[in-house]
Amino acid sequence: MTSNTGTRAWQAADARHHIHPFTDAAALAAQGARVIVRANGVWIEDSEGHRILDGMAGLWCVNVGYGNLELAEAGYQALRDLPYYNSFFQTTHPYAVELAAKLASITPPGLDRVVFANSGSEANDTIIKLTRYYWNLQGRPKKKIMIGRNMGYHGVTLGAASLSGLTPMHPQWDLPLPGFVYVDAPYWYGEGGDLTPHEFGLKAARSLETKILELGAENVAAFIGEPIQGAGGVIIPPDSYWPEIQRICAEHDILLIVDEVVCGFGRTGKWFGCDTYGIRPDFMTLAKGLSSGYIPISAVMLGTRVGDAIANANEELVHGYTYSGHPVACAVALKNIEILERDKLVEKAGNTIGPYLQDQLGSLRDHPLVGEVRGVGMIGAVELVADKASRRHFPPQMDVGPRCRNHCFSNDLIMRAIRDTMVVSPPLTISRAEVDELVRRAHMCLDLTAKEIASL
């Protein structure tokens, strides 16, 4: 599948027939999409034979790396043995049962029940419904407002996009829906001013309490947050933040939803972001790293009070997808967790390759464009600024982040630009030599970006 004629034909058909996610269709048609034909380890390969270092593990998801044949075989075996069955009408199957039990055992205590779905968005939509249902079951039907955060990302369905505080996600679709509001993100570098990170973490958390008091706790159903905000710009909370959020939710009887779609399955150097920050949520959203992105599957973990209420409701739960707990997806997820455990990939993310990645990324701090390098485990960010001392950003219309991203792309490195923050989230299987190569290319692309903006 590598040829120049192939590339042009695919690009033409792609431009004619395929509408891409989060893409300006006309701009892409003018330029032609890069055609990715295969992948192995941390490398993807395009139809012209270029090998590209994937610093993003796809979309923050290929935790065990590409080309893992054990996952392929687990899927193939399930396709042969039980290509489809569901758990709607008094049936189940070993794949879903075993995955549910496994997830209950590896997630923090209390998260003992699972509802399956197929994407992070669907899982978060499911949580919105289960939250409404929970408060209805409690006889408190007024408790319905959902609180998210500025720059939060929870998916694109009407509900999940409404939970998301990334403002560009709303206007095309007349969102958010009624009853969705946002509070501050713990974005110290961008918004902390003269406060210490500790002080700012408390301040950001207390914006939740202020909002709850303003709305009346009797009207507020739940708060949702990612342990580390991924798509919002790898916003790493100060240590003071999550304990204060936990206190506020408990004190005002608000359900706490932790979206682990990016942070789960080793990304932060522990199994879950909840383990890294000591959070005890009522709901946990899992997707991406659950199957290392090899096949669509997501899961909602239910904490004790929510799980007990729903399990003992004595009525039908009127919710579920044709593919909830799909046997092939469950088989791949089970094998994926087995590999993470057996190969100690989470421990390595926490103790060896993760610290090495952070250390090497840290070498970019001296670059004239770099204001902050931050990261935890196998997720990192390099924030570009016009002035280091005052943490002043470039004007957004200068497109400094996208320019840097384009240099990376031209130099066979995938890094995501979020505003002017360059982020990395590579497979947990990346080697030290590959980390060195990633950082070498990133450094070169920062130089190219500096040169380009100097000539504007």
User: Are the CB atoms for 3 and 45 separated by under 8 Å?
Assistant: no
Q: Which two tokens stand for residue 92?
A: 């189940």
Q: Which of 7, 121, 131, 336 binds ligand PXG (CB under 6 A)?
A: 121
Which region among 64-72, 152-160, 342-350, 365-373 touches ligand PXG (by CB under 6 A)? 152-160
d(CA 405, CA 290): 27
Q: Is 54 near ligand PXG (CB under 6 A)?
A: no
By CB under 6 A, how many residues form the interface with ligand PXG?
Answer: 16
* Alpha-carbon dihedral sign for residues 74, 78, 84, 85: negative
Which of 177, 125, 187, 122 is closest to 152 using CA atoms? 187
Q: Per-residue x/- marks for ligand PXG, 407-436, CB under 6 A?
A: ---------x--------------------
Q: Is 11 near ligand PXG (CB under 6 A)?
A: no
Which region among 135-143, 256-264, 275-283, 398-406 touches ligand PXG (by CB under 6 A)? 256-264
CB of 164 or CB of 358, closer to ligand PXG: 164
Closest CB 227 distance from ligand PXG, rounded Å: 9
Q: Is 154 near ligand PXG (CB under 6 A)?
A: yes
User: Are the CB atoms for 262 and 288 separated by under 8 Å?
Assistant: yes
Q: Is 59 near ligand PXG (CB under 6 A)?
A: yes
CB of 209 or CB of 379, closer to ligand PXG: 379
Q: Which two tokens stand for residue 362?
A: 């840290």
Q: Which of 43, 66, 116, 153 binds ligand PXG (CB under 6 A)?
A: 153
Which residue's beta carbon is nearest to the bound ligand PXG?
Answer: 120
- Give the H/E segment covering residue 258: strand 255-259
Which region among 115-123, 248-256, 328-336, 402-410 touches ligand PXG (by CB under 6 A)? 115-123
Q: Is 300 near ligand PXG (CB under 6 A)?
A: no
Q: Which letter does DSSP use for residue 392 in this model?
A: B
Q: Is 207 near ligand PXG (CB under 6 A)?
A: no
Q: Is 272 near ligand PXG (CB under 6 A)?
A: no
Q: Which of 185, 287, 290, 329 binds ligand PXG (CB under 6 A)?
A: 287
Closest CB 151 distance from ligand PXG, rounded Å: 11
Q: Is 266 near ligand PXG (CB under 6 A)?
A: no
Which residues fall within 8 angstroms of residue 419, CB to CB, at 6 or more apart?
233, 393, 396, 401
Q: Is 127 near ligand PXG (CB under 6 A)?
A: no
Closest CB 162 distance from ligand PXG, rounded Å: 13
User: Are the CB atoms for 54 and 39 separated by under 8 Å?
Assistant: yes
User: Are the CB atoms for 230 and 149 separated by under 8 Å?
Assistant: no
Which region among 77-85, 148-156, 353-361, 397-405 touches ligand PXG (by CB under 6 A)? 148-156
User: Are the CB atoms for 176 and 162 separated by under 8 Å?
Assistant: yes
Closest CB 118 distance from ligand PXG, rounded Å: 8
d(CA 423, CA 384): 11
* Alpha-carbon dihedral sign for residues 372, 396, 183, 263: negative
Which residues fall within 8 angstroms of residue 380, CB to CB, at 6 or more apart?
234, 357, 358, 361, 373, 374, 423, 424, 425
Q: Which of 259, 275, 383, 434 binds ligand PXG (CB under 6 A)?
A: 259
Q: Is 230 near ligand PXG (CB under 6 A)?
A: yes
Closest CB 230 distance from ligand PXG, rounded Å: 5
Q: Is 403 near ligand PXG (CB under 6 A)?
A: no
Which residues fall within 8 angstroms of residue 80, CB to CB, at 6 or more apart?
none
User: Are the CB atoms for 438 and 53 separated by under 8 Å?
Assistant: yes
Phi, psi dihedrals of residue 155, rounded to the nearest 5°: 120, -175
- Give the H/E segment covering residue 329: helix 327-342
Query: Would you tell me which residues interact with ligand PXG (CB under 6 A)?
Result: 59, 119-121, 124, 153-155, 226, 230-231, 259, 261-262, 287, 416
